[in-house]
Amino acid sequence: MKVLEKHPMVMIVIGVIGISLSAIFVKYSGAPSVVTAAYRLLWTVGLMTPVVFGKAQVRAELKQTNGKTIVLCAVSGIFLALHFTSWFESLKQTSVASSTAIVCTEVIWVALGFVVFLKGKIGKAALLSIAITVFGSLLIAFSDYSAGGDHLSGDGLALAAAIFSAVYTLIGREVRKGMSTISYTYIVYFFCALVLCIFTAAAGIPFHGYGMSSVVVGLLLAVFSTLLGHSIFSWCLKFLSPSFVSASKLCEPVVAALFAVFLFAELPALLQIAGGLITIGGVLLYSRVEKNGE
C-alpha cells in the first residue's frame, strides 16, 4: 500500500474502470432499480464482513468510532442509496452515454460544496480544467440526445444522482481524515444497504422473483463497481482533493462507451468521440494543475 500511496493515480485508473462497468451491469438486471441497488450493497456488506471482523485493527477502530462519525457515515450512506436508486432508474429511461455523462457533472456540485461548506479554494486553472471536462461530457450527452427520443425524465434522475453523489463524496472527504478506508466504507455501505432495504419494503416491492441474473448482477456490481470502484475513490480522498477525485469519474462515460462498443455493438458518433477526448484531456489537465498547486 505504501507504493500506491506514492502513486494514487494508479488507483484512480482502477476505480474508473470499476465504476464504468456499473452502467453495463445494470442493463442486464431485470429487477426494479431499488432492488438492484439493494442486491449490490447487500453483496458488498456480505463480502466485506469477514475481512472487516477478521482484522483486529479494524475491529478496534470500529469500537472506538464516536457517535458523530457514525452519524456522518449514516448520512453518507443515505445519500449513496439515493444516488444508486436514482441513477439505476435513469439508466432505464435514457441511454448509457447520456446518463453516465450527466451523473458525472458531480464534479460541479463537489467543487461548489468544497468551496461553500468546507472553505476550500479552487484556482482559475482548476476551474478551467473542470469546465473542459464537463463540456466534454455534455457533448457526449448532446450527441446521444440528438439521436431522438424523450430522455428528459432520465436526464433529471441522472442529475439528481450527481448531486446525491457529491454530498456522499464531500462527507467522505471529512470523515476519511481520521478513519481508515475499510472502516469508513464498511459503515457507509452497511447504512446504505439498510436504507435501500427500507426503501424497497416501504414501496411494497418484492425482494425476489427477478431471476438469477439479477442476483448475479448485484454480485458483479458489488465486486467491480463498489469494492474496486467507490471504495478505491474513498481511499483516494485521503491523498487527492474531492474535486479531482470527482473529476476523474468524468472518464466514466468514455470507458462505458468503449465497453458498449464491444458488448452491445454500440458504435459512438463522431461527436461522442470528440466529447470523450475532451473529457480525458480535462481530467489530465486537472491532474497537472493540482500536482503543481495552481
Per residue in 180-217, pLDDT (tens digit) is 888 988 999 999 999 999 999 999 999 999 999 999 99
CA gap 287, 9 in Å, rounded: 9
According to the model, what pLDDT value does residue 154 have?
A: 81
Provide the pLDDT confidence category of residue 223 given band limits of 50, 70 and 90.
very high
Q: Which helix (DSSP H) or strand (DSSP E) does residue 51 occupy?
A: helix 33-54
> Per-residue pLDDT for 289 more than 60?
yes
Provide the pLDDT confidence category of residue 7 given band limits of 50, 70 and 90.
low
Identify which has the larger pLDDT, 131 or 237.
131
> Per-residue pLDDT for 1 more than 60?
no
pTM: 0.82
- Segment among 38-52, 82-96, 278-292 with least mean pLDDT: 278-292
Q: Which long-range contacts (CB under 8 A, 24 or more apart) does 2-7 make?
A: 5/239
Q: Which domain holds residue 122?
A: 1-292
| Whole-number average pLDDT of the chain | 84
> Per-residue pLDDT for 3 more than 60?
no
CA gap 237, 215 in Å, rounded: 30
Q: Which three cell numbers stand for residue 120?
A: 476550500
**Crossing angle (nearest 10°) for helices 152-175 and 67-93:** 160
Most confident of 18-27, 133-142, 164-173, 199-208: 199-208
> Per-residue pLDDT for 81 more than 80?
yes
> Per-residue pLDDT for 83 more than 90?
yes
According to the model, what pLDDT value does residue 115 have?
A: 77
User: Region 89-109: what's the mean pLDDT?
Assistant: 80
Q: Which helix (DSSP H) or strand (DSSP E) does residue 102 occupy?
A: helix 96-103
Number of domains in the chain: 1
According to the model, what pLDDT value does residue 197 have?
A: 96
The proportion of the chain whose per-residue pLDDT surpasses 90, expressed as a percent, equals: 32
User: Region 145-164: what's the mean pLDDT?
Assistant: 78
Q: Closest by alpha carbon to 237, among 178, 162, 163?
A: 178
Residues 32-69 have pLDDT tens digits of 999 999 999 999 999 999 999 998 999 999 999 998 99
> Per-residue pLDDT for 110 more than 60?
yes
